[in-house]
Amino acid sequence: MRIFKIYLFCLIFNLFFVSFCYSQSIVPVPTLIEPPDAVSSGMGYVGTAGTSDINSSYWNPAGLGFLKKTIIPDGLWLNDSESDTMSYFEITSTDKFLLKYDNGTFSYENLTAGLYIESFGTLALDLAYSDYGEMTRTHESGFVLGKYSPNELYISLAYGGQIEDDWGIGLALKYLLSNVVPEASPGFTQHGVSSGYAYDVGVLWKPKKLNLLNLDLGNALALGITFKNLGPKIEYGSESEPIPAQFRFGASIDLTKYKMKNLKIGFDISKLLVYYSNSVTYIDSDTILKSDSDPYPKSLISGWKNPGFEFGIGAEYWYENYFALRAGYNTEPSYSGNRKSLTFGGSFKLYFFQVDVSYNYSSGDMKYLANALRFSLRIGGNSVK
């Protein structure tokens, strides 16, 4: 099994070169970068290193490798007086609502389920769906063509395992279905429907023993790196746009061992690896400035030309493993929305059940995404640290 995990580690990085042979064109699929859970969403969208549940399949699939055992709470089974453990399992369902949205309604649903398999690792299946509400389609001449409802869907299968006690690696494979214009309209010969694939790779380091500047960070510090949404473009007829590839680095520290109760803090830094270069096209003596995107994997290099990073910082506090409070702050560079968000959240846990809620207030160029509420219902979890 150790040989299999080392092979998988090599395969992850070989996929970078395999995908180069299949570089095509695709439209953006923002559902791919929509946080699926109300926990990390309440902490400033921080999760690359600090997520300790099945939603690691989104933030960093390497985190799945550390989910091996589930704690059975005291008194859950009759005649039990002490806590016991069993193989890790979890099912989480999340809904997102926007309190302000110009197109009337917006809905986002996510369902994630995972299970640990002895001597193999943890598998997770993730399903996400977004409906962007009813919109009006207009021809370039100004003629109204009718109404339509854009929607997107992706399905992900993720794996996480450990190659050492301190190190986890992970891979997530995704199938995408994007319906920008689900039905054809007069004057247009092509449907705005397309499908494709993407994948995530991640590494997570959680040292058992580490002393830095006379500070014991063993079993407290976690560092993670993820490349998300890697893959070719998807075409809508003659139109093409890249999917939102990302680089993420995160760190978290569990302050429980420092007599800070159940307090965890962390931060994430991310970069959108999509780059548009301007080209000039001349049509009937008129100059038209056209924007073209670099193909994958070239965009993994050129994307670093984009100015700035997205940055998030957050904290989580648990009281007696029953109630949790969270808060965070997130900021985006101008080219990806220029939003500044304050986030808040909380949880209530009882035995195998947990309810999470988060709220974010945003300012910036994309104010229509402000005032978002997320609710998650979790069954299972309770990972052994």
Determine which helix (DSSP H) or strand (DSSP E) holds 22, and give its type and residue range: none
Candidates 1.10.286.10, 1.10.1040.50, 2.40.160.40, 3.40.50.300; correct CATH number of 2-380? 2.40.160.40
Three-class secondary structure of residue 13 per DSSP: helix
Neighbour-count burial of 145, counting CB atoms closer than 10 A to its CB (0-12 exposed, 13-18 middle, 19+ buried) = middle
Please give the structure tokens belonging to residue 54. Answer: 């099945």
pLDDT of residue 98: 67
Determine which helix (DSSP H) or strand (DSSP E) holds 300, and give its type and residue range: helix 299-302
Q: Using an 8 Å Cβ cutoff, are 95 and 236 in contact? A: no
Domain ranges of the chain: 2-380
End-to-end CA distance of the chain: 23
Instruction: Report which of 276, 273, 275, 284 is spatially closest to residue 309, judged by C-alpha positions.
Output: 273
Query: 321 phi and psi, to 5 degrees?
Result: 60, 20
pLDDT of residue 101: 55
| Residue-by-residue pLDDT tens, the chain, 385 positions | 554 444 443 433 333 333 333 333 334 678 898 888 999 999 999 999 988 889 999 999 999 999 887 666 555 544 444 446 567 778 888 887 765 555 556 788 999 999 988 889 999 999 999 888 777 777 667 777 777 778 899 999 999 999 999 999 999 999 999 887 655 544 444 567 888 899 999 999 999 999 888 888 888 899 999 999 999 988 777 777 788 999 999 999 988 766 666 899 999 999 989 887 764 444 444 444 445 788 888 888 888 988 889 999 999 999 887 899 999 999 988 777 778 899 999 999 887 789 999 998 887 655 445 678 899 998 887 655 5
pLDDT of residue 135: 75
Give the whole-angstrom CA distance, residue 171 versus residue 122. 11
Give the whole-angstrom CA distance, residue 52 versus residue 62. 11
pLDDT of residue 4: 42
Query: 359 phi and psi, to 5 degrees?
Result: -140, 135
Question: Sign of the CA dihedral 56, 57, 62, 64?
Answer: positive
Please give the structure tokens belonging to residue 65. Answer: 């490798």
Give the whole-angstrom CA distance, residue 310 versus residue 144. 38
pLDDT of residue 339: 82
pLDDT of residue 178: 86
Three-class secondary structure of residue 27 per DSSP: coil
